[in-house]
């Protein structure tokens, strides 16, 4: 059995992950497993450790990420920043607030180490990795490449992420174990401030212009914002990237559209535009909030190229 290297984000779930980790630490101490634990002290630690592991240690050990979607995003980006040809599969134990990656891929909700660790070890020993879509984003202005496991958003959902991360609401809801509601609660204050913006898209080469975009989200799977099923038909294994753009004509129409999203009846509306494609180009010249896997990208004009690629994970699913 290869050594297991756990990368733990104690700050995930507004710090609740540190408490959950205690039971894992106790379990591991009493086990016969060959393992090492690295607890992140700062944002980007997981990125740096995953980079170094992929470069030097991936043949002799397996990385296990313990945290939320942001932690998994960092690990994948660290691995892929090495530019090596053979990217190793990594294991993931969800312990975040939103957990959209876990939700989309039907991961086990149980957080008892005695239930999780032996199963995960068996998966790793048998080499049973799951291949999933992730997305590659090339920023033409900054000349940088990044990857996301869940979504990249510009406009409304990104402004909501920024407002949520700034607020004490996320901490409070995480304390109540209702972290998945954090985005939903701040959403109402953002409704008052977010304006429409113009965007030019190339979807598999075909030009699309939209002048009243309000919410624009690329995704590998159905969920965003901690459990909103925004693209129910998005498939995380089809090798394609999904996009939804919601336009706003006026506040009443927008509110009706958002209610339709919650009911899963939004696809038929004329202000909802839905694409599934191999690659996209996007130009959004106005200053807008952006986010990637729930991590803020700041306020920018965006000029991006996006496409789908595969990544391998060791995952425990609700139903195997």
Ligand X SMILES: Nc1ncnc2c1ncn2[C@@H]1O[C@H](COP(=O)(O)OP(=O)(O)OP(=O)(O)O)[C@@H](O)[C@H]1O
What phi, psi does 203 have (nearest 5°)? -110, 110
**CB nearer ligand X, residue 35 or residue 101:** 101
| Separation CA 287–CA 161 (nearest Å) | 16
Residue 42 sits in the site that holds ligand X (CB under 6 A): yes
Residue found under tokens 């995003």: 73
Q: Does residue 70 bind ligand X (CB under 6 A)? A: yes
Query: Is the Cβ of residue 98 or residue 153 nearer to ligand X in the bound state?
Result: 98
Q: Per rule CB under 6 A, is residue 68 in the interface with ligand X?
A: yes
- Return the number of the residue (234 or 277) whose C-beta is nearest ligand X: 234
Cβ closest to ligand X, residue 139 vs residue 296: 296
Burial zone of 83 (CB within 10 Å; 0-12 exposed, 13-18 middle, 19+ buried) = exposed
Report the nearest approach of ligand X to the CB of residue 276 (Å): 24
Q: Which residue is nearest to ligand X (CB)?
A: 68
How big is the chain by its Cα radius of gyration, in Å? Answer: 19
* Site for ligand X contains 11 (CB under 6 A): yes
- 222: contact with ligand X by CB under 6 A: no
74 scored as a contact of ligand X (CB under 6 A): yes
- As to burial, measured by CB atoms within 10 angstroms (0-12 exposed, 13-18 middle, 19+ buried), residue 259 is exposed
The minimum distance between CB 116 and ligand X, in angstroms, equals 17
Where does 220-277 show beta strands of DSSP type E? 223-224, 228-229, 241-247, 272-277
Part in contact with ligand X (CB under 6 A); list of ranges 68-76, 152-160, 201-209, 214-222: 68-76
Residues 237-296 interacting with ligand X (rule: CB under 6 A): 294-295
Residues 88-147 that bind ligand X (CB under 6 A): 96-99
Token look-up 């919601």 returns 246
Q: 309 with 88: CB under 8 angstroms? A: no
Rounded Cα gap, residues 295 and 272, in angstroms: 25
Query: Which residues are at the interface with ligand X (CB under 6 A)?
Result: 9-13, 40-43, 45, 67-71, 74, 96-99, 294-295
């Amino acid at each position: 059995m290869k050594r297991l290297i756990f990368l733990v984000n104690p700050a995930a779930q507004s710090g609740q992950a540190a408490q959950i980790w205690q039971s894992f630490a106790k379990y591991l101490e009493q086990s016969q497993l060959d393992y090492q634990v690295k607890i992140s002290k700062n944002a980007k630690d997981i990125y740096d450790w995953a980079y170094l592991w992929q470069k030097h240690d991936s043949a002799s050990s397996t990385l296990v990420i313990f945290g939320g979607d942001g932690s998994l995003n960092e690990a994948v980006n660290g691995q892929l920043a090495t530019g090596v040809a053979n990217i190793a599969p990594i294991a993931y134990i969800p312990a975040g607030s939103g957990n959209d990656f876990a939700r989309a891929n039907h991961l086990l909700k149980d957080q008892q180490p005695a239930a999780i660790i032996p199963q995960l070890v068996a998966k790793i020993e048998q080499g049973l990795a799951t291949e999933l879509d992730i997305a590659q984003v090339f920023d033409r202005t900054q000349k940088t490449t990044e990857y996301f496991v869940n979504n990249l958003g510009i406009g409304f959902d990104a402004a909501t992420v920024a407002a949520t991360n700034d607020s004490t609401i996320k901490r409070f809801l995480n304390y109540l174990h209702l972290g998945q509601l954090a985005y939903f609660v701040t959403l109402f204050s953002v409704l008052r401030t977010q304006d429409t913006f113009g965007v030019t898209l190339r979807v598999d080469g075909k030009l699309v212009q939209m002048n009243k975009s309000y919410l624009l989200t690329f995704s590998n799977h159905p969920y965003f914002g901690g459990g909103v099923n925004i693209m129910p038909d998005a498939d995380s294994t089809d090798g394609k990237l999904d996009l939804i753009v919601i336009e706003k004509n006026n506040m009443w129409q927008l509110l009706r559209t958002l209610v339709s999203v919650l009911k899963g009846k939004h696809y038929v509306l004329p202000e909802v535009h839905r694409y599934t494609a191999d690659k996209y180009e996007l130009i959004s010249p106005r200053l807008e909030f952006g986010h990637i896997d729930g991590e803020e990208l700041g306020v920018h004009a965006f000029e991006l190229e996006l496409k789908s690629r595969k990544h391998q994970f060791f995952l425990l699913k609700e139903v195997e």
